[in-house]
Each structure stands twice: as C-alpha cells, then as structure tokens.
Structure 1
Amino acid sequence: MNLKTSSAEANQSERLLYLLDKAYEAPFQPDNFHELMKAAHNFYFKSWDDLSVADIKNKNFANDTILASHLNRIEHLMRERELENRSHASNLNKPTLIALLINPDTWICEGNHLADEFFGQRFPCSFKELKLEKSSLNQLKKMAERATMSGFNTEICRVKRNEISVSSLAKCGVWINPEGNAVNQVRGLAVSIAHFNWTPNALGFCQSMFQLADSETSVLAALLNGKTQAEIANERGRSVETIKAQAKSILRKSGCTKVSDLMVLATTYGLLVDPGGETQFQGGYKPLDFAKPDRIFTNRDGRKISYGIHGDNNGRTVLFVHGLVHGPFFPPDMIAAFKEDGLKVIAPSRPSFGLTDPPINWKDFDETVIKDALTLLAAKTEGPVTVVAHQGGVSHACRIANALGRRAKNMVMIGAGIPIDEKRHLEGMGLQTRIAAIGVKYTPRLIETMIRIGIANELRKGIKPYLHHLLSNSPTDLDLLDDPKIYSICEAGILHMIEQGPKAIVHDGAAAMADWSGDLLNLSCPVKWVHGSKDPIMRLDFVLEYVAQYRGDPVLTVENGAGTMHLTHATICYKAILDAARS
C-alpha cells in the first residue's frame, strides 16, 4: 500500500482486502457465505446504521484492473473447485455425481467411490478397462488429449456403459495434477458424470418449463436416456420422420439448438428439482400449473426473445414487465380471468433472463429491453397498451411507456419501487438488498462475482433453501413458501432469473439504481400504485411520500402484502390491472 494513501483510503483498502479474502475462501468454505455478506456490508457501509457510501462513490472501482484480476482469479477458483469437489468422494454434495480423473500420459484413471459403483470396477484402472461403449471411450480419449493443450476449457458430452442402453451426461474439464510443478505440470481430464434417475417429478418439471405435450415428454425422456431417434420410432411404432419432427419441436420449445444442450438444460432442472431422484408423483406426470414465457420471437438482428401471450388474443393489450425473483409467471386462476375478461397479456423475458438472448452489446442493455418490448408489441398487437410494472421491472416499464407515447393507455405499479435515494431508502432494505443496490451501481464487476458465488453455494442445497436465503428479510414471504401454488411459481422464477448467469441481474439492478425519476415524472398516462404494507424492498411510507410529493397518483395499500403479493393478494392486483385496461 502507498504510504501517502490517506487514512480513509487505507481503511477502505483494508475493508476491500478483507472482502476479497472472504471471497477467496468461498469456493473452499461454501457454508461461510454469510460471512462474505457481512464483509461486503462492512466494505460498502460504515456500519449497519450509518449507510454512508461517499468513499465508495469517490473510487473508480468499475475500472479497477487489479480488482478485476482478483475477481477473475476467484471465479477461476470456483470453476476449478467444482471439478475438484466432484473428483473426491468426501467433497461430493450430490449423490448423483460420478467423478473420474484421466491422465493422458499414463492412461490411468482414478475415480471416487461412486465411480466404483457406476462402472462396477475398482479404481485406479487402465483407460481401456473402463466399461464404456467404444464411441464414448473414443470421445473421452480425444478430450483427454486436448486437455493437455492450452485453450481447452469445458465440454459436455453423453457417455454410455457398454452393457446398458441408458446414457449419462458428462462434464469434462482440465485437471492439473497437484503432484506436478509449475514448470512441468501434469494435465489431464476431469470428468463429472451425472447419472440421473429421470423420475416423473423431474420429467414433469421439464415438461412444464418447456411446455411440452405428453407425447413430446415421452420422446424427451427417451432422448435423455440415450435412445436414438430410430430406436424411439421403433419402440413407439412411429416413423422416424415423426420422431424427428417431435425432437425439433422439443429443441425449439426449450430454446436449444442440439440434443447435448438440451440434456444440459434438462439435467440442470432435474438435479435442482429432484436431486436424489427419489420423489415420485402418483399417476404419471404432474406438470406445474401456471403460465410461462413459452414462445420465441426471432428479432431482425437474430436475437431470440422469449415471451408468453395469455388470455383473449383479441382482447385489450396488457404488457407485463416482470420483477426478478418471480418472473413472467401467472397462477392458473389469473390466466382464466384474463380470457374471461377479455385481456391479452404479453409478458416478455428481459435480455439474458429465461430463454431470451443477451443484448448484442451489454452496454446497450436498457435500450435492448425497450426495443424488445416495442418489437413484440408491434408484431403481436395494435392499439393502446396498459403497462404493468412488477417490482424491479418498474424502471424499464417507465422507459417503455414513454417510448410508446400515446399508445401507453395507463400504468399499474404492482409492488413497484421508486427512484432510490441512497441517503434514505437503504435503511428499509435487508442485508443482501442493500449490498446489491449499492454494488450494481458502483462496483458491478465485484457484485457480479458475489452473486455468482451466492448462486453456486446456495443452489448446492437446492432451490427451496436458496429461496429461504434470498427472502430472509421478509418473514411474510418465508411463511408462504410452504404453499405449493406459491412455491412452484417462485421456483420457476428463480430458474428464470439465474439460467444464464448473474450478468443480467447486475445490469437489471443497475437500471433500477440509476436516476430514472425523469422517466417516471414524464409519464403522461394515468398511473395507479398497488403496494404492500410489508414490502421487503421499498417501504410503503417511502412510496406514499414520493407519490404524494411528485405525482399525486392513487395508491392502494395491500395489508400484509409483501414480495409475493401478486400471488397472495391476486384478486386485488388483478382488479387493478383489469380496471386500468377497461378505463
């Protein structure tokens, strides 16, 4: 540290070093994530009660190359640690992961105890002795040879044992033997095999997320178990062309371009929803019953936009701009009401959320959000539009409404926030929300790494514990996670939010933290606010005060309404939307 550095800067540097120290520990001590959060709060703020961030503002962390270098190393450690975790029996977190280490110099394979069980043989053993069919052995051999060269990162492939027809998913990455040295490192291939038992529970979730017909789900199950299209056709008494058409439909609905990508996505869902592969539904598949962004629109620039259209196709148009955690999902009774009351609800996923492609340039994230919405509306509907801002989608909803001009008939704010005043509003937020709010604004690269660590560490325990962690500052929402109807939508919303990684979360958060007061104050259409008395992000009194001072719009208070208010108080929220669309 420079001796001329001021005491304030020295203190800030010390806090940053402590935070980085905790971040370096995270891949090795995942249960200490809360310690990382406390270190982050200590870095951003003077204390729990003194939320001054002046020293953060005055430092250009966004362009700090040394900090970026540390964060790159931390994320590299996370990737390496994941492979290491799957390579040692004592560190395995899921009972479905088999680990192999292949040394291309000696062609000796090491495996954990699950590899012993999976292959039915003892390790270490010769590569040729692996009980895999010839094509799988050849594939792994080529990758092991490539792993000794620079440029090889990770690949996904399917592998089959030679005595059974079921295939498994293998994630392959570089393994560096710790017995080597810096000059002469021994490199090889680390293989993690997900031998997943495709229960009706896991298949039902994939069917629901991809919106597949029962026949397509059966084809998906066969593909996931390594069947060829010819084998599926023969077993089902159908032509190969019919099975090919169904496979193409499955790929299109899932947003994947090839079967290996489909296996990765489906297995990810399967491991999260049913990690032990043990839960069974009685009577076959039981798809989750809610509406989803199940359509794909291809823009002129080649980008794909995922969206849903619900209700009456000839009804009054409602554009739903979703919040983060709960996504563009609706309960079944609300969907039925859309159709009965003549509403046509268009609900897109923002860039890099769900199956929507990321922006061509991340610097254009906000502009891409607006263009996507305008493009969809132009292609799918005509006439006036009621814009619904749901929670964190409010800043983009206001920008979209202004871009629509006279087409924006009115707006409804469902649990939506207001432009954030750092000096006042942070006190009403919980630990993680405070950190995220300041982090996305002043240290986006740092907060991206922290979100990545949080996702990786928490999802090891499953989606429900992750939701409990995410909603820890809202007791009202936590109590409702035991309701299967509410939980199913929250679960789908989490997958929708994290499917493509944390970068979109950071950019979306930065849009909310920017000064979008001009976009809100410039709205020329009528606006109605529906806000919960126990909202965990923006306190009701802050909303009431702001709206009374700057806009004078009506505000409907929902008693005991929290983050899941659109589900727990669906009748109130829906009535506000319906009244706006009919006005």
Structure 2
Amino acid sequence: MTSGRDRLVDSLYSVVENPDHLGVLFENLSGYCQFSAPSKDAKMAGTPSRTIKRVLENLKIHFDRASSLMDLAGRGVEGMTHEPSMASVEIDLLVGADGRVVSANTDATAQLALRAGDRIFALNAEAGDLARLRVKLRSMSGCRRDEILMAVPAYDCFGKRCLLAFTPVQIADGPLCARVSKIELDWSAVAGGAISRTFGLTDIELGILRAICQGHTLADHARERNRSLATVRTQAKLLFEKTGAHSQVELVRMFAAFSQKSTAGPIDFVPPRSAQTCSRRTMIDLPDGRTAQVDMAGSPHGTPVLFLHGVLSGTGIPEQMDLYLKQTGIRLIAPLRPGFGQSTNVGCEPNLFAETYVSDIAAILDRLSIDEVRVLGHRTGAAYAIACAEFLPSRVSRVFIVSATLPHSSATAVHDNPSWQSMFAQTALYAPSALTVLAKGAAQLAHAQRLDRVLTGLYGGAEVDADTIVRPEIFRTLEYGFHAAFAQGTLGYERDLRVAVGDWCDGHFLEASNDVTFIHGSCDPVTSPDLIRQLCSSGGHLDLTCVQGAGQLLLYQHTPLVLDIVGGRSLH
C-alpha cells in the first residue's frame, strides 16, 4: 500500500506537471498532516503548530524544489517547447510476485486493459522484457523499497509508447507487491541541462538520471559503463541527495516536471476578456516613489467609502453593485495592496505590512482630498480595516467588515472549513514553503483558464456560495480579483494571507474607539457567526448583523442590504 508520504510527494510533483491536480494535493496534504485547529487549552497550546512543522520538515526540500520548478515553467526555458515531453499518468496498479494483478483502478484498466486477476505479462511489450520482468517479480523480496525494480517499455491501449516502472511496496497485512507507474517519456537534453544547472549535477550524476528516465536499472547502467553496481549506487545516492528525491520514482517525476512545455512568460496584469469590473482604474504616485492602483466605482462625488479587498476576492465590482452605489450616493475607493494588480510591491515583513499599507492609504486620501471615510473591509480585508481604525483614528468615522475571516490562531474552527480554505490558512501559519506551492498551483490554474476549479475549491463549501460563483457576472468579478492577486507572482498573496491569519483582532483591536459593525452570513462555512458574536461580546463598540441564509459571498448575495448599512440608510 502506498504511504501517505509517497502519495503527498507524488501529488506535489503532479501539480507541477498539471495544475488540474491541485485538489488531489490538497487532499493528500490534509490527510498526511492531519490538520486540526489550535486549542485554547493551555496544555494543548501550540500542539498543532509543532505537529505540522514536524511532519512537513522532511518534505520542505520537495516543496522548495516544486516551487523552483513552477518558476521555471512560468518563465519558460529556451528551446524546451521543442523537446519531447514526459508526463506521469495517474494509474493505480498493484502486481503480485506471481505476476497476477492484485488491484487496478479504472484508469489502469482503460489505459492498459488490465483488471484484478489478469496477468501483467499480457502487456503489449517485448517478450524479452516480459521474461525479465517475471524473474524480477519473483525476486523482489530482496530488492530495496526505494528503488525501481524494473522499467518496462510498452504500448498502452491507444498505441502510445510509455514506460511502466515497477516499485516494491508492502501491502498492510498482505503480501509484497509491485506498484506500477505509467510514464510517457523521452529524454530531453534541455530539461536535463536545466536540472543539472539547478541542482549542480556532475556529468556522471546526469548520466545516471538519464539512464533512470530512459527505463534502465542501476545494474544496467553499471554494466553499460563497466562500473561496479556498488559504485553506481553510491553515485546515485549523491544524485538523490542533491535533488531531494526520495526514490527513483520521485526522480522521474521531477524530470517530468522539468520536461513539460513551458507556459507564457512573466505574469502581467492583463485579465482575460472574460474578467470584468465596473470600477474605474487610476494610478496614484506615493511619497516613496511607488505607485498604487486604485479602483473606483459608484458616484464620483458621493460619500467616500474605502473598500479593502480580500486576498482573492479583489476589487472587482459587478454591474448591479455599481448601479446601486450610484443610486445610494456612495463613492467606493478601492486601493490595491502592494504586489496586487499594478500596485508597486514593497519589501516588508508581514508583521509590518499592515502599517505600511495604511500609510499608502493616507497618502491616497490626501491626493484625493478626502479628510474622512467609512471603511469597508471584505473578507481578509478585515485585518486592514482594523489597522486603518488603529493608525488613522481621526480619518476613519466607522468600520464595517463583511464576511470576516478571523485569525486561525484565535478563532477559526478548521475542521468545519472547506478544505482549500483551511489548507491555505494552515500552511500560511505553519508551513510557508507549502503555501508557495499551493499559491503557484492556484495561479497556474487561473492562467490556464481553469479558475472554475479554484473557485469551487474555495467557495464550494456552502450551497448558497456554490450557486453564487456560477452566476456569470460574479464569476467575471472574482476572475478579475484573482488575476489581480497573482499579477506580479505569488509573493504579495503569500504575505497578505499571513497577515490575515495572524492575531490582528487581539490587543489594540478590543481597545479601539471606532465603532465596528460585522455583517456576516449565517451559512458562512469559513467563520461561524457564533465566533463573531463571541468576539463582539468582548467590546461595547462591536456589533454584528447576521444575514440569514447568506454564505461567505454575502457581499454579492445581498448587495443592497450591505450598502444600505454601510451608507447609513439602514439601522440594521
């Protein structure tokens, strides 16, 4: 049976090859780490943090490598698009020592025409290779568990050339079997050179990598090079150490990722035509020489309301929302944070970033000749709304927070969260290297026009939200925000999320003099209304308006209600 660690590493490199597999990575990461919310019990305080860090410590190198691979794919490697590609195909096939198929999933059956009980020797492969495979399977009890038993060139049901790698695995309470991985490949000199430069491989180590990727065993390579098997194994060990690969299968998976066709060049903030917003974009110069993108909507001369966007929901404004803003006389001002859209990024640690952003906001208000504003924080924008109240008390008349995402360390019940929301937040707290890969995977999906998968993973936890994201105008609005989040890469997103899950609602927050109104959906699957009520009970200046039947996309589900409250037209 494949271990949780092996499944996690396999799915990690699978995402590098194909971002469509991001959901599988989320599942395997969650299952392997057994994430749970931090306990308020003093005896348990910090336990999840230590557990998560411990179980991920020996995988950090894989997350770092995967991140580097994604960067290579994003920038493109000259000539790689003309090289043969190599990709691992998802099949689950176990074979016993006698060559009988123990188990086969539907993909294995569809691609190799093998079912449980069939003989593996029915493969469309050379007779000599099948004869050697028979011998290898019978003797696999003496083989190492981290080494490919044999790689057999074969043809699948579609007549496509592939390589079937057999690796010994021990089934729990069962016999020793060989797990079969199907790999479509050919050696890519460009990809090999890229790996060699990235990991500092010697020519000897690169030769071993090529042999493994072409389906040769270490023994085959030793005979071909007229070296002892012990010498080749020692050289292979150095190859594994340099690349961080745990086994030959992982090494092949890594090479497959390098061999993928490159995507377009650096990400620019040019959202696809399908992404739409009714906001008007303007660029404002900041005192330190940076530039801030500020999106505006509603009445140009109306009551100013500062809109602080969520980490992914963005500043996009649907048409109906823009019309209602104009009808109610609200001028919505939405400054994108550094690193989002076209706002110049800033080198700043997460614990100092909120104050830096508030300084930018003060400069923007000065340029717009606005003395006082109401602040509307949306989702993770809640942290910055509170920061505005703390650092700009004389300019903020009131704070409104819609669908607040509270810090995981103090409130959010992870086990009740949609898995993607939970995993992003937990990795932001405890495993930043993992967060980088998750963010880059999500960004790749968006730029591959597969944003629907990401939105379903993020917002599909409640039926009301799932129904909302399929509305064309809402999908286009979220698409605009998503592309703004990753316009300059993922660093801005990663920092923003780390701010959002920090302890921003502790300390000065409870002592703030500004009135704060939470507007929250009763069906929000990320932050329970009960947690908001508990928070509001700790301060007389805090109150909650709970909207029955609304989810985390409350702003788009009950736009008139939210804007009436913010604009002072409703006593809520």
Common fold: TM-score over 0.5: yes
Q: Deviations over 1:514-537 (max 9, x none)?
A: 112224213212222211111132
The one of 437, 449, 453 equivalent to 2:425 is: 437
The one of 326, 331, 334 equivalent to 1:344 is: 331
Which residue in the other structure is 1:353 paired with?
Answer: 340
Which residue in the other structure is 1:502 paired with?
Answer: 490
Q: Deviations over 1:185-235 (max 9, x none)?
A: 9xx9998697xxxxxxxxxxxxxxxxxxxxxxxxxxxxxxxxxxxxxxxxx
Which residue in the other structure is 1:181 paired with?
Answer: 207
Task: Give, in whole Å, the separation in 1 of the partners of 2:22 and 2:286.
Answer: 40
Task: Give, in whole Å, the separation in 2 of the partners of 1:150 and 1:426.
Answer: 38
| More moved, 412-421 vs 302-311 | 412-421
Q: Deviations over 1:163-190 (max 9, x none)?
A: xxxxxxxxxxxxxx999737999xx999
The one of 546, 561, 569 equivalent to 1:572 is: 561
| CA RMSD across the alignment | 4.5
Cα 1:429–1:85 shift into 2, 3 Å: farther
Task: Give, in whole Å, the separation in 1 of the partners of 2:473 and 2:520.
Answer: 22
* Residue 557, structure 1, aligned to residue 563, structure 2: no
Cα 1:40–1:384 shift into 2, 3 Å: same
The answer to whether the 8 Å contact 2:325/2:563 transfers is no
Which residue in the other structure is 1:532 paired with?
Answer: 521
The answer to whether the 8 Å contact 2:520/2:545 transfers is yes
The answer to whether the 8 Å contact 2:315/2:336 transfers is yes
The answer to whether the 8 Å contact 2:298/2:324 transfers is yes
Task: Give, in whole Å, the separation in 2 of the partners of 1:407 and 1:49.
Answer: 36
Which residue in the other structure is 1:462 paired with?
Answer: 450
Q: C-alpha displacement at 1:388, in angstroms?
A: 0.9
The one of 493, 497, 507 equivalent to 1:518 is: 507
The one of 484, 489, 500 equivalent to 2:472 is: 484
Q: How many residue pairs get matched?
A: 411
The answer to whether the 8 Å contact 2:36/2:415 transfers is no
Q: Deviations over 1:63-119 (max 9, x none)?
A: x99765433322233455676688548979xxxxxxxxxxxxxxxxxxxxxxxxxxx
| Contiguous gaps of at least 5 residues in structure 2 | 89-188, 212-257
Task: Give, in whole Å, the separation in 2 of the partners of 1:395 and 1:445.
Answer: 23
The answer to whether the 8 Å contact 1:46/1:53 transfers is no
The one of 77, 82, 98 equivalent to 2:69 is: 77
Task: Give, in whole Å, the separation in 2 of the partners of 1:393 and 1:453.
Answer: 23
Matching residue's letter, 1:369 = Y
Taking every aligned residue pair, what percent have the same amino acid on both sides? 20
Which residue in the other structure is 2:317 paired with?
Answer: 330
Which residue in the other structure is 2:177 paired with?
Answer: none
Q: C-alpha displacement at 1:439, in angstroms?
A: 1.2
| Higher Cα radius of gyration | 2
Task: Give, in whole Å, the separation in 1 of the partners of 2:448 and 2:39.
Answer: 34
Cα 1:193–1:509 shift into 2, 3 Å: closer
Cα 1:338–1:581 shift into 2, 3 Å: farther
SS at match of 1:405: coil
* Residue 417, structure 1, aligned to residue 378, structure 2: no
Task: Give, in whole Å, the separation in 1 of the partners of 2:85 and 2:8.
Answer: 30
Q: C-alpha displacement at 1:36, in angstroms?
A: 1.8
Task: Give, in whole Å, the separation in 2 of the partners of 1:553 and 1:342.
Answer: 26
Cα 1:471–1:190 shift into 2, 3 Å: closer
| Contiguous gaps of at least 5 residues in structure 1 | 1-13, 93-143, 154-176, 195-259, 275-286
Q: C-alpha displacement at 1:539, in angstroms?
A: 1.2
Matching residue's letter, 2:307 = F
Which residue in the other structure is 2:416 paired with?
Answer: 428
Q: Deviations over 1:230-284 (max 9, x none)?
A: xxxxxxxxxxxxxxxxxxxxxxxxxxxxxx98xx748x744xx67xxxxxxxxxx
Task: Give, in whole Å, the separation in 1 of the partners of 2:37 and 2:263.
Answer: 45
Task: Give, in whole Å, the separation in 1 of the partners of 2:302 and 2:571.
Answer: 10
Task: Give, in whole Å, the separation in 1 of the partners of 2:379 and 2:209.
Answer: 54
Q: C-alpha displacement at 1:436, in angstroms?
A: 1.7
Q: C-alpha displacement at 1:330, in angstroms?
A: 1.9
Q: C-alpha displacement at 1:54, in angstroms?
A: 4.0
The answer to whether the 8 Å contact 1:463/1:491 transfers is yes
Which residue in the other structure is 1:391 paired with?
Answer: 379
Cα 1:491–1:41 shift into 2, 3 Å: same
* Residue 38, structure 1, aligned to residue 64, structure 2: no
Q: C-alpha displacement at 1:148, in angstroms?
A: 8.5
Q: C-alpha displacement at 1:513, in angstroms?
A: 1.6
Task: Give, in whole Å, the separation in 2 of the partners of 1:465 and 1:424.
Answer: 24
Cα 1:473–1:298 shift into 2, 3 Å: same
Structural mapping, 1:150-549, within 5 Å = 181=207, 265=268, 269-270=271-272, 288=276, 290-292=278-280, 294-363=281-350, 364-421=352-409, 425-457=413-445, 460=448, 462-516=450-504, 517-549=506-538
The answer to whether the 8 Å contact 2:310/2:379 transfers is yes
The answer to whether the 8 Å contact 2:37/2:412 transfers is no
Q: C-alpha displacement at 1:385, in angstroms?
A: 1.4
SS at match of 1:410: strand
Q: C-alpha displacement at 1:322, in angstroms?
A: 1.0
Task: Give, in whole Å, the separation in 2 of the partners of 1:151 and 1:378.
Answer: 53
TM-score (norm 2): 0.61
Cα 1:87–1:533 shift into 2, 3 Å: farther
Cα 1:40–1:422 shift into 2, 3 Å: farther
Matching residue's letter, 1:343 = I
Q: C-alpha displacement at 1:300, in angstroms?
A: 2.4
The answer to whether the 8 Å contact 1:328/1:349 transfers is yes
Cα 1:347–1:32 shift into 2, 3 Å: closer
Q: Deviations over 1:268-303 (max 9, x none)?
A: 744xx67xxxxxxxxxxxx945225x1111222222
The answer to whether the 8 Å contact 1:390/1:413 transfers is yes
The answer to whether the 8 Å contact 2:294/2:333 transfers is yes
Matching residue's letter, 1:382 = I
The answer to whether the 8 Å contact 2:306/2:376 transfers is yes
Which residue in the other structure is 1:111 paired with?
Answer: none
Task: Give, in whole Å, the separation in 1 of the partners of 2:557 and 2:402.
Answer: 13
